[in-house]
Amino acid sequence: PRCSLITSPDPQPQCESGNQSCPYFYWYGDKSNTTGDFAVETFNVNLTTTEGGSSEYKVENMMFGCGHWNRGLFNGASGLLGLGRGPLSFSSQLRSLYGHSFSYCLVDRNSDTNVTSKLIFGEDKDLLNHPNLIFTSFVKEKETFYYVQIK
């Protein structure tokens, strides 16, 4: 049943059991694409709490793709994390745990290895109260992409 959520490469092989991985092929909006196995696993995630602390959660039945052939902007990347609005993205699958809020500051993949990115699921009180915080709200759309209004 989960295999019906993804696009399979041609010819489409049949999944014979509920715990078997399914091959997938996915195109991104920038024409990058990935091919691999679609799988289900239990993830342990550490999420920011509304009080500013963190809690570890065991999330069963997380759906994800294990890309074996990635092309486009992420060619050579060791992994991808989907944060779009689609039902299979990491952020959408965790939505009920972290209250629909996440923020990120991602460094360029060619940056110095001592520079790290930040990815926060949930509301971080210290971040929200930071005097230099500037943010732009997204325009509500039904597509997987995020949009901002520019005036």
H-assigned helices in the chain: 90-98, 125-128
If the chain, 151 residues long, is cut into consecutive pieces of 10 residues, what is the mean pLDDT of each piece?
A: 65 59 80 86 79 80 86 74 82 80 80 84 75 80 76 80
What pLDDT does residue 12 have? 56
H-assigned helices in 61-150: 90-98, 125-128
Q: Against a cut of 0.85, is the pTM above it?
A: no
What pLDDT does residue 141 have? 72
